[in-house]
Amino acid sequence: MPAPESPLIIALDYADLGAALQLADALDPARCRVKVGKELFTRVGPVAVEALHRRGFQVFLDLKFHDIPNTVAGAVEAAADQGVWMVNVHASGGRRMMEASAERLAKRGLETHLIAVTVLTSMADGELQETGVSGSALAQVERLATLTLESGLDGVVCSARESARLRELCGAGFLRVTPGIRPASAGQGDQRRVMTPDAAMAAGSTHLVIGRAVTQAADPMAALADIERTLARRS
């Protein structure tokens, strides 16, 4: 399927496949990609990915694998065998885990993008420190992004607030996939480190994960078009 030029990834964070596909059917796969997360995938499994592929969408399988190296490498390979465009792991799983996953994809010649989560965008500095990590969220993101790059992965999930620094640190070709994206008119929800779509792209994000602003809109495609217009004004 042709790759859309758009940086937009719409989060299909639904509890059942019917609702997810109803939203997908309201969108144009030439103008966005879609994300399948833990709840939907746990409930219905690979059938969700298959159904979205049949509709022409490229899929980001957002399962954030974190386990021993061989287990995660196998899970990443299984995701890539489903033909997903992108899959992720937790960078805090360490170098051996990430290297094993990247090497497994390379050995199989699979083209799925492999990225790593740095610090969840729902976490503020104080919450991170409660887990035993000293220093700021930014410092931890920089540390884990550097480790991800050294481990041979394609990029990271990070806050848009960290994108500019990671572009400097890891290079322009290193993917910076940013959730916590909210149009100016939208609420913050349960995210902490958030930014508007145009500001996120200006800051250096390569892809934007957008949920409720599109999925809860009366006309999802119109909401997506509004975001596209906002991005066009800054280009």
The residues near 232 (Cβ < 8 Å, ≥ 6 apart) are none
Query: Is 65 among the annotated ligand-binding positions?
Result: yes
Q: Annotation-wise, does 178 bind a ligand?
A: no
Specify the pairing of strand 207-210 against strand 175-178: parallel
Helix, strand or coil, per DSSP, at residue 126? helix
Q: Give the whole-angstrom CA distance, residue 194 versus residue 41.
A: 25
71 annotated to bind ligand = yes
Q: Among candidates 138, 90, 85, which has minimal Cα distance to 110?
A: 85
How far apart CA 58 and CA 157 sit, in angstroms, is: 18
Q: Which of 28, 67, 107, 198 is catalytic?
A: 67
Q: What are phi and psi of 137, to 5 degrees?
A: -60, -40
| 64 known member of a binding site | yes
Please identify which of the residues 16, 25, 38, 64 carries the catalytic annotation. Answer: 64
Q: Is 66 marked as binding a ligand?
A: yes
174 among the known binding-site residues?
no
Known binding residue 69? Answer is yes
Q: Which helix (H) or strand (E) holds 33?
A: strand 33-36
Residue 67 is among the residues annotated as catalytic for this protein: yes
191 is in an annotated binding site: yes
Q: How far is CA 61 from the centre of its chain?
A: 8
DSSP assignment string, 172-215: TTSEEEE--B--TTS--TT-SS-B-HHHHHHHT-SEEEE-HHHH
Set 16, 25, 28, 62: catalytic member: 62
The answer to whether residue 62 is catalytic is yes
Is 38 labeled as ligand-binding? no
121 annotated as belonging to a binding site for a ligand: yes
Closest CA to 51 of 74, 84, 81, 2: 84
Q: Is 35 known to sit in a ligand binding site?
A: yes
Known active-site residue 64: yes
Known binding-site residue numbers: 13, 35, 62-71, 121, 182, 191, 211-212
Active-site residue numbers? Answer: 62, 64, 67
Known binding-site residue numbers for substrate: 13, 35, 62-71, 121, 182, 191, 211-212
